Chain A
Amino acid sequence: MLEIEHLTFSYGRRKALDDVTFDVAPGEIVAVTGPNGAGKTTLLRILATLLMQDTGSIRLDGTDPLARPIRYRRGIGYLSEHCPLYSEMTVEEYLTYRVRLKGERSLRVRRRVGETLEACGLGEERRTQIRLLSHGFKKRLGLADALVMHPKALLLDDPLAGLDLSHRRMISAAVTAASARAAVLLTGHEVHEMMMCCTRFLILDRGRICASYRVGEHTKSALSDLLERQLAGLSGGKEPQ
């Protein structure tokens, strides 16, 4: 269970997150959406321990990232918005490097890498150099990196941005499969696409959660309309420099 309580963060004088509280249970896929500059990426960066909150607390199965950072990070899988990778490596080399870096025992590395590559539809690309991959396959590899250690919480920053339908379906399927054992939190603007896999939507505006909707409570089309209407009425904030 990922629990976030009264999280506040500021870039200088500008508040990026203001008293954000919610939790994500294992099996849930929660989408955080909102206009640009609403604080989505900041929220995920704090959860990934790349930023430190001003106030508030985070717990992952009771582990506080400020008190036990290594243990907390062992429990998370993070996909960055721009999906950086080492372009000179092959897909398999990169994932092997990442699994080893995350502390997996040597005997299990090959099996873990093989399983994850298959789960993310990268089996045929395993010997391809990363610089030759399309944007969609790079995103899949970033997702494979996030998934490979079977994290308790999966943090995906805009995983569907700029992808064609087949890649979006593939990523949605992989995220849905991973949610069986993880709490998933993802951000994005693509409400229709996120509807394919998400169980709950949170709307963030100017650092505050202004609405929360469960997918089961509405029909998908009604929810989609509702979200789009609400998002159209939001102004957003400034992007952090």
Chain B
Amino acid sequence: MTAVQVTWMREVRAFGGTFSGSVPVAAFLSVCGWTFVMLLRRHEGSVLQVQSIWGVSVAPWLPILSAVLTMRLFSEERATGMIDLLLASPIRERDLVIGKYLSAMTVMAAAVALSLLSPAVILPALSAPVQGTVRVSAFAATYAALLLQASTWCAAGTMLSVLFRNQAAAAVGALVLCSGLPVAVYAVVLAWIPSARTQVAWMPLLMHVYDFSTGLFSTGVLSLYATLTVCFLFGCSKMLACLRLRG
């Protein structure tokens, strides 16, 4: 068993055995279901398809869930001193980071999959024309887009949990980085340079989910999220290595 697998297993068990996993996921499912129903009512009779509404109802809550799930990954280890034992073990920092990141992603993937319960429960009650537009492949594409975003938020949250001993501080930092910062940058760019709207069209994150759900795949979007994820994870392992420099 590799260090990544061992770390992943321990973290997944920790998520399952404590409130740090189950309570946030339950809250996430509740708000996603509520948002889905609200959006469905608001867009009644519009051209929006069910998978798009589902995707758009889940995406805004992903940064919050990822911030709550990842906040304890390293900050708890730092607060308890367990990080010393991990760093003194014969494993690479990156293995530790990947194992913990994958554990958060596992919970995220399960939570997003469970959020499909809302459309699954409501769909039979909808009219026949709406039901006719539902395709499994479209839901799969939306799920992939949501996971793509979740992977970036989780990587950012994992990186920030290395910086803080306090879990709440790590969660707030992740929220600012994942939700506040992109919106603020987008608003500032558009305010200062309105003509740049076309160049920064990737900024509205909900649009990516909507595009994927309607079959509009973009390699630019894929590489944006993949690059951000790799950068955050790389930064995370380097920050972990830097802990050795300052103790």
Residues in A lying within 8 Å of B, measured CB to CB: 11, 45, 48-52, 70-71, 73-74, 76, 78, 80, 82, 84-86, 88, 97-98, 100-103, 106, 145, 240
Contacts and interface: CB of A to CB of B under 8 A. Distances in A.
Interface stretch (B1-9, B58-66, B162-170): B1-9
Contacts of B14: 86, 88
A94 B24 CA distance: 26
A80 B87 contact: no
Given A80-B81, A84-B82, A84-B85, A70 B91 contact: yes
Contacts of A45: 84, 247
Contacts of A100: 1, 6
Secondary structure at chain B's binding surface: helix, strand, loop or mixed?
helix
A102 B88 contact: no
Interface of B: 1, 3, 6-7, 10, 14, 17-18, 80-82, 84-92, 243-245, 247
A205 B131 CA distance: 79
A145 B85 contact: yes
Contacts of B88: 48-50, 73, 76, 78
A198 B31 CA distance: 61
Given A51-B245, A73-B88, A102-B90, 4 more contacts: A73-B91, A74-B90, A84-B80, A145-B85
Nearest to A42: B247
Contacts of B3: 101, 103
Contacts of B89: 73, 98, 101-102
B5 to A, nearest CB: 8
Nearest to B10: A97
